[in-house]
Amino acid sequence: MGIVFNNVVKQYPNTASPAVDDVSLEIKEGEFIVFLGPSGCGKTTLLKMVNRLYDPTSGTISIDGVDIRHVQAEQLRRGIGYVIQQNGLFPHMTIEANIAVVPRLLNWDEAKIDKRIDELLELVHLDPKVFRKRRPSQLSGGQQQRVGIARALAADPKVMLMDEPFGAIDAITRSSLQEELQRIQRLTKKTILFVTHDVEEAFRLADRIIIMQAGKVVQFAAPYDILMQPANDFIRQLVGERDVYRKMGFLKVEDVYASGDEAAAASEGVSLNDDLKLVFNRMVEERVREYPVVDANNRRVGFVTMDLILTKLAN
């Protein structure tokens, strides 16, 4: 199941070359996929074909085994959440009415919609009592994007398309939104197709990254594999191959730790999901060369040492 692209081409009228050029991909259900590439490489075009804002010139896209050409566009879109940079909220409607748009189209009863609005606002950490009756202009950019995410999740779609959703948000708000999105995905297990031109964002969020260049997919792999084996010079440059410290910022403890109990458990543990750069900084500050590693349930799973980090990164 999941989403499958088969030889997808999109050529706009009167253009010399296709915006999306023979893309074939298999995305698994529940994956967090990030499309990364410079402006103009075809990311938005590719995404818009998934909810049929555009149709391919040739090739096919299927979701859970169904060719989306055989699904009515409106019906398809109700099953796919869509979040864009300019959040697309209706300015004249309250936050609650914005979130209720798709549930109302689906004829949910009002009590169920009401409950869903509270649930979603809580999920994106906006207090329903404070925000339900406000209008989009009475919210900060970051809060508006939270509402955009809540709205996209309203009817519990299996797939979320997100096109540079945090592109216009300041760095600090952006990183808290990134964290929340990861949390939401862990809770809801959506399949997420997320577009960005920001390398750090891609590495922070993705289960797998699709790197695009001039309409083509040039690499499709897990972040760690892209760092360690960039497929071409363009990608090598993009991820800054030789810069060990920079690489660390893209990695987590789970990418380098060793299982087993050898390390002293004297100090407080770090968790699998911690940023390697922060852990490395802490080692340097505390003059400690190793930490025990714990999982999300605080169960000991292994250890991480400075040597392990440096050896992995030196490869």
Write out the residues near Mg ion by the rule CB under 5 A.
44
Asked whether position 15 contacts ligand ADP by CB under 6 A, the answer is yes
Separation of alpha carbons 200 and 30, rounded Å? 22
| Tokens read off for 71 | 């699904």
Asked whether position 51 contacts ligand ADP by CB under 6 A, the answer is no
Asked whether position 52 contacts ligand ADP by CB under 6 A, the answer is no
304 binding partner (options Mg ion, ligand ADP, none; Cβ < 5 to 8 Å by kind):
none
Strands 3-10 and 216-221: unpaired
Asked whether position 56 contacts ligand ADP by CB under 6 A, the answer is no
Cα 193–143–103 angle (5° rounding)? 65
Min. distance of Cβ 43 from Mg ion in angstroms? 5
Taking the least distance from each CB to ligand ADP, the nearer of 42 and 269 is 42
Asked whether position 16 contacts ligand ADP by CB under 6 A, the answer is no
Asked whether position 208 contacts ligand ADP by CB under 6 A, the answer is no
Question: Hunting for tokens 């440059």 — which residue is that?
Answer: 237
Taking the least distance from each CB to ligand ADP, the nearer of 15 and 297 is 15
DSSP E strands: which ranges in the chain? 3-10, 20-27, 32-36, 58-63, 66-67, 80-84, 159-163, 191-196, 208-213, 216-221, 258-259, 270-271, 290-294, 300-305
Q: Which residues of 7-45 are buried (b: 16+ CB within 10 A; e: fewer)?
A: ebebbeeeeeebbbbebebebeeebbbbbbbeeebbbbb
Min. distance of Cβ 40 from Mg ion in angstroms? 8
40 binding partner (options ligand ADP, Mg ion, none; Cβ < 5 to 8 Å by kind):
ligand ADP
Separation of alpha carbons 120 and 278, rounded Å? 31
Asked whether position 137 contacts ligand ADP by CB under 6 A, the answer is no
174 binding partner (options ligand ADP, Mg ion, none; Cβ < 5 to 8 Å by kind):
none
Min. distance of Cβ 53 from ligand ADP in angstroms? 10
Separation of alpha carbons 152 and 160, rounded Å? 7
- Going 194 to 196 to 201 to 206, the CA torsion angle's sign is positive
2 binding partner (options Mg ion, ligand ADP, none; Cβ < 5 to 8 Å by kind):
none
Using CB under 6 A, pick the residue from 39, 107, 297, 315 that binds ligand ADP: 39
| Site stretch for ligand ADP (CB under 6 A), options 41-49, 130-138, 147-155, 280-288 | 41-49
Separation of alpha carbons 246 and 240, rounded Å? 7
Taking the least distance from each CB to ligand ADP, the nearer of 154 and 195 is 195
Using an 8 Å Cβ cutoff, are 194 and 33 in contact?
A: yes
Asked whether position 245 contacts ligand ADP by CB under 6 A, the answer is no
Taking the least distance from each CB to ligand ADP, the nearer of 212 and 270 is 212
In the bound state, the residue with its beta carbon closest to Mg ion is 44
Separation of alpha carbons 236 and 211, rounded Å? 11
Contacts for 51 with CB less than 8 Å, ≥ 6 apart: 73, 76, 77, 80, 82, 161
Using CB under 6 A, pick the residue from 23, 25, 41, 113 that binds ligand ADP: 41
Using CB under 6 A, pick the residue from 3, 5, 33, 45 that binds ligand ADP: 45
Separation of alpha carbons 82 and 50, rounded Å? 10
Taking the least distance from each CB to ligand ADP, the nearer of 39 and 75 is 39
Site string for ligand ADP, 155-194 (x = CB under 6 A): ----------------------------------------
Kindly list the residues in this chain that would bind ligand ADP in the complex (CB under 6 A). Answer: 12, 15, 19, 37, 39-45
